[in-house]
């Protein structure tokens, strides 16, 4: 039996240190500028592509780390640098996960490379699931995909919202309704190739945090995509829909829909992002508390400050361990029998909100200004309890899994 260890191996430490260096030397110096500009930091993404961080090969290597720690380790270090810029670097990954979770080997090999481009011609991709009236309530999704058998094409109509890279992406992965009678079980995912007529960017959102990451609506008007752009293929879809109809008729177990399969796979990674932001804020607060003097002594000499920092570090480490456990379970094929993926995302995201708020408080008036980064980190941390499943939805998933009851 292999020896139990929580220590990173030499290869993992080398990758971690490399990413930390990039975050410290490239991401952090640019963070304030791109937060103020509220624009996609293309020069930083290109730098990431040049050194091999923004590439299919890099994420594949981390994804296939047999311990499961490659992706969460990478997310933590990049988001330690800055959440907005890091999300611009890794945002394409959600669309890639959507293809990996639902696509065929041929689709994976065809579309994921196109999502990234190369160092000379950087591309981004977008995963489009949420809608103006369907966020947490995926069963209310209205975007429709209708099959035109004569032309072997799918026709997509609807509006997506809160799409990272929406409208500026080359490849869009769109979740749409193919059978309205089945509710969330009647969904499927589609590739919309670059320059497909009918797809356009709607409103670009001006956000509270992660402002260097592009978030916008995606409008689909009679968008036609070839039959091979249905992820998984039509035969697999028809079989899945038939099983869903049978189970619905018999009151049997539920079938996971395309969007939920993507989010389940990405929740621990979101938890790792939150850990990175929390750790960054904690480190700023710790250093400030050791150097800031009041009443003739460093403020860390006061229990009120020191105990806050002790709690902050404890919560960060606990969040990281939950993320690592869920990531290890996912990689080794162990089922989330207690919703461990949702647990990791829930605890880490709420830890990030608490820790960044405490960091602002420790810095006092300075923490409330843009002269110090904790103000930005606090704004950025708010997103973790919202996107890819709110904290309320995570609690619902956990409670349902533990009880086996249809809690509402």
By annotation, the residues acting in catalysis are: 388
**Residue 195 DSSP symbol:** T
- Cα separation, 168 vs 195, in Å, equals 11
Do the beta carbons of residue 379 and residue 369 sit within 8 Å?
no
CA dihedral of residues 198, 200, 203, 207 (deg, nearest 10): 140
CB atoms within 10 A of CB 245: 16
Residue 203 to residues 163, 192, 217, 262: CA-CA distances in angstroms? 11, 19, 5, 24
- Cα separation, 190 vs 377, in Å, equals 34
Give CA 342 to chain center in angstroms: 13
- Cα separation, 398 vs 406, in Å, equals 11
**Full DSSP string of 66-91:** TTS-HHHHHHHHHHHH-HHHHHHHHT
Q: CA angle, 393 as apex, 391 and 394 as ends, to 5°? A: 65
- Cα separation, 304 vs 315, in Å, equals 17
Task: Give the three-class secondary structure for 38.
Answer: coil
Which residue intervals of 82-157 are DSSP H helices?
A: 83-90, 92-102, 105-116
R_g of the chain, CA atoms, integer Å: 22
Task: Give the three-class secondary structure for 333.
Answer: coil
- Cα separation, 20 vs 43, in Å, equals 18
Do the beta carbons of residue 122 and residue 46 sit within 8 Å?
yes
CB atoms within 10 A of CB 328: 18
Task: Give the three-class secondary structure for 54.
Answer: coil
**Full DSSP string of 385-401:** GTTTS-HHHHHHHHHHH
């Amino acid at each position: 039996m292999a020896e139990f260890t929580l220590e990173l191996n030499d290869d993992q430490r080398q990758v971690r240190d490399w990413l930390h260096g990039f975050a410290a030397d490239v991401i952090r110096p640019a963070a304030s500028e791109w937060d103020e500009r509220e624009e996609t930091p293309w020069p930083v993404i290109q730098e990431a592509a040049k050194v091999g961080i923004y590439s299919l090969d890099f994420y594949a290597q981390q994804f296939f780390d047999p311990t499961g720690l490659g992706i969460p380790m990478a997310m933590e270090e990049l988001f330690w640098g800055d959440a907005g810029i890091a999300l611009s670097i890794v945002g394409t990954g959600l669309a890639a996960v959507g293809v990996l979770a639902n696509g065929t080997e041929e689709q994976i090999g065809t579309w994921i490379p196109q999502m990234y481009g190369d160092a000379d011609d950087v591309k981004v991709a977008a995963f489009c699931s949420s809608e103006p009236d369907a966020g947490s309530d995926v069963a209310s999704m209205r975007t429709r995909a209708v099959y035109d058998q004569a032309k072997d094409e799918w026709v997509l109509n609807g509006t997506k919202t809160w799409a990272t890279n929406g409208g500026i992406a080359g490849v869009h992965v769109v979740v749409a309704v193919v059978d309205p009678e089945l509710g969330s079980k009647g969904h499927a995912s589609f590739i919309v190739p670059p320059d497909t007529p009918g797809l356009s960017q709607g409103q670009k959102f001006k956000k509270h945090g992660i402002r260097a990451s592009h978030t916008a609506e995606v409008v689909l008007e009679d968008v036609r995509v070839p039959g091979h752009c249905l992820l998984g293929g039509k035969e697999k879809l028809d079989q899945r829909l038939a099983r869903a109809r049978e189970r619905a008729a018999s009151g049997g177990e539920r079938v996971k829909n395309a969007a939920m399969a993507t989010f389940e796979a990405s929740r621990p990674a979101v938890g790792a992002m939150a850990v990175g932001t929390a750790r960054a804020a904690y480190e700023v607060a710790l250093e400030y508390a050791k150097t800031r003097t009041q009443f003739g002594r460093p403020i860390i000499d006061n229990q009120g400050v020191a105990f806050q920092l002790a709690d902050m570090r404890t919560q960060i480490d606990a969040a990281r361990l939950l993320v690592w456990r869920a990531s290890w379970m996912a990689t080794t094929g162990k089922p989330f029998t207690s919703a461990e993926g949702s647990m990791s995302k829930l605890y880490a995201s709420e830890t990030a909100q608490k820790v960044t708020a405490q960091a602002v408080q420790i810095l006092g008036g300075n923490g409330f200004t843009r002269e110090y980064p904790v103000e930005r980190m606090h704004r950025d941390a708010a997103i973790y309890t919202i996107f890819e499943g709110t904290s309320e939805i995570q609690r619902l998933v956990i409670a349902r899994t533990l009880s086996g009851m249809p809690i509402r």
